[in-house]
């Protein structure tokens, strides 16, 4: 049997400890699948004395994480530090420059620097792998890069952030409001102390930009993602969605028709759509191929086991000698596509207003819709809030997004509105 693949592990948080546990638990199976053993040789983290629930005595401890890139006894470095820049990026650049393979779970770094790193890897003839960066244990990167490689993909979309999905589905099942459920998610460890990256959609946007590149053969364009989070979803929105036969989900969606369109935003998802039934902290990704049809992948998108599983799967590929281009084709072959024109997308749209409970307010809103050429499919007003305001929900007929924006512009500054309107497109089956 070939000599062992020697691994350095940078970062010993939940996932790093999970990688050690997984390799130890499935050692024989991994060796048979990889064609050789995979051995962790060196490790590095900020705190040498922290108890991680695994025995680290058999590994060489390296204080300077970035020096792992030039360690003489290492074939591949696994980066689990996080952050788009800083030590993680230095380690990535130096590892590849030294002619060693690099595995990462760092979606932010790949979204911001993936093209640079992929180009470096091509030049050195080494592997850059990042299955764990998107959707945890779901093999979506491999699915798009390899399984669907013969297909033209017309669209890719999905639920890409487990924290947001947990919050929304808990609001849905228990009738509680956003702030209360977020606090619970933080207490349970599902959400960070500063949850902004999750609830404001940035984490999902990082992942979406990577998926779009793989799906369409385009250069990553994270800056081109239109990002709207779930921070302003309220319990009344959940109730309205249910009354319409829908559920609210944070959906990342991308298409490459008239330019590259990339969006992360809360949407109303009909019960007949598979994404409506993705609950808790699960993730799901849907891709539409011209020959394979609809592909639907669902599973745990984060956590020790799923993410470690994806990391070790990449190590098995490297042990087999699989070092193809990181984005399914060479960096030079990736298209530099213009962004889709803003406002041209067509959709039915849900609009929620919190307004003063007084005569003439509905007339003011409907007049703005009329003047912007937005046709109303349904309108409802439910109760009055504790502050004495009414909640008005409108569903439009299909229309251009620009028309909806115009209508809201006509209402901007109105004394009738007590809060900024909530806008959510309605996903079609």
- Of the ranges 64-73, 95-104, 267-276, 296-305, which one carries the lowest mean pLDDT score? 296-305
The mean pLDDT of 245-249, rounded to a whole number, is: 97
d(CA 120, CA 97): 7
d(CA 300, CA 138): 7
Q: What average pLDDT does the segment 112-116 reach?
A: 98
Query: What pLDDT, on a 0 to 100 scale, did the predictor assign at position 384?
Result: 67
Domains, in order of start, for the chain = 5-137+306-329 (3.40.50.720), 140-300 (3.30.360.10), 346-425 (3.30.70.260)
Q: Could you tell me the pTM of the whole model?
A: 0.94
The whole-number average pLDDT for the span 57-62 is 92
Q: Assess whether pLDDT exceeds 80 at residue 226.
A: yes
- Which residue among the candidates 3, 129, 207, 406 is catalytic per the annotation? 207
pLDDT of amino acid 386? 62
Pairing relationship of beta strands 422-425 and 349-356 according to DSSP bridges: antiparallel
Residue 224 has phi, psi (to 5 degrees) of -90, 0
Question: Is 207 annotated in the active site?
Answer: yes
Confidence of residue 382 (pLDDT cuts 50, 70, 90): confident
CA 396, 255, 311 angle in degrees (round to 5)? 120
pLDDT score at 302: 83
Q: With 70 as the cut, is the pLDDT of residue 156 above it?
A: yes
Whether pLDDT at 380 is above 70: yes
């Amino acid at each position: 049997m070939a000599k062992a693949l020697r691994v350095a592990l940078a970062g010993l948080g939940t996932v790093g400890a999970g990688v050690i546990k997984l390799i130890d638990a499935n050692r024989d199976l991994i060796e048979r699948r990889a064609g050789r053993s995979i051995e962790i040789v060196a490790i590095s983290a900020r705190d040498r004395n922290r108890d991680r629930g695994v025995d680290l005595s058999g590994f060489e401890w390296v204080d300077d994480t970035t020096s792992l890139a030039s360690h003489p006894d290492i074939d591949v470095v696994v980066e689990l530090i996080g952050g788009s820049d800083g030590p993680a990026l230095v380690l990535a650049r130096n590892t590849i420059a030294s002619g060693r393979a690099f595995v990462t779970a760092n979606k932010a770094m790949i979204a911001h620097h993936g093209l640079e790193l992929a180009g470096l890897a091509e030049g050195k003839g080494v592997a850059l792998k990042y299955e764990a960066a998107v959707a945890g244990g779901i093999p979506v990167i491999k699915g798009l890069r390899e399984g669907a490689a013969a297909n033209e993909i017309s669209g890719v979309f999905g639920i890409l952030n487990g924290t947001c999905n947990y919050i929304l589905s808990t609001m849905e099942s228990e009738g509680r409001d956003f702030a209360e459920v977020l606090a619970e998610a933080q207490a349970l460890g599902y959400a960070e102390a500063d949850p902004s990256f999750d609830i404001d959609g940035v984490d999902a946007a990082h992942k979406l930009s990577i998926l779009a590149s793989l799906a369409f053969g385009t250069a990553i364009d994270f800056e081109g993602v239109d990002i709207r989070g779930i921070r302003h979803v309220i319990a009344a929105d959940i109730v309205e969605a249910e009354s319409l036969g829908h559920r609210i989900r944070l959906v990342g969606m991308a298409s490459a028709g008239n330019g590259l369109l990339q969006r992360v935003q809360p949407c109303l998802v009909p019960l007949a759509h598979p994404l409506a039934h993705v609950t808790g902290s699960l993730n799901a990704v849907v891709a539409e191929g011209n020959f394979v049809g609809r592909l639907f992948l669902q599973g745990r998108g984060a956590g020790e086991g799923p993410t470690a599983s994806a990391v070790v799967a990449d190590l098995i590929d490297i042990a087999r000698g699989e070092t193809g281009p990181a984005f399914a084709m060479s960096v030079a072959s990736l298209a530099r596509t213009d962004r889709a024109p803003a406002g041209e997308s067509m959709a039915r749209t849900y609009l929620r207003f919190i307004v003063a409970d007084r005569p003439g307010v509905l007339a003011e809103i409907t007049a703005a819709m009329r003047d912007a050429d937005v046709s109303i499919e349904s309108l409802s007003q439910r109760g009055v809030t504790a502050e004495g305001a009414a909640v008005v929900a409108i569903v439009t007929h299909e229309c251009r997004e620009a028309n909806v924006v115009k209508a809201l512009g006509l209402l901007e500054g109105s004394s009738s509105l007590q809060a900024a309107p909530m806008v959510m497109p309605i996903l079609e089956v």
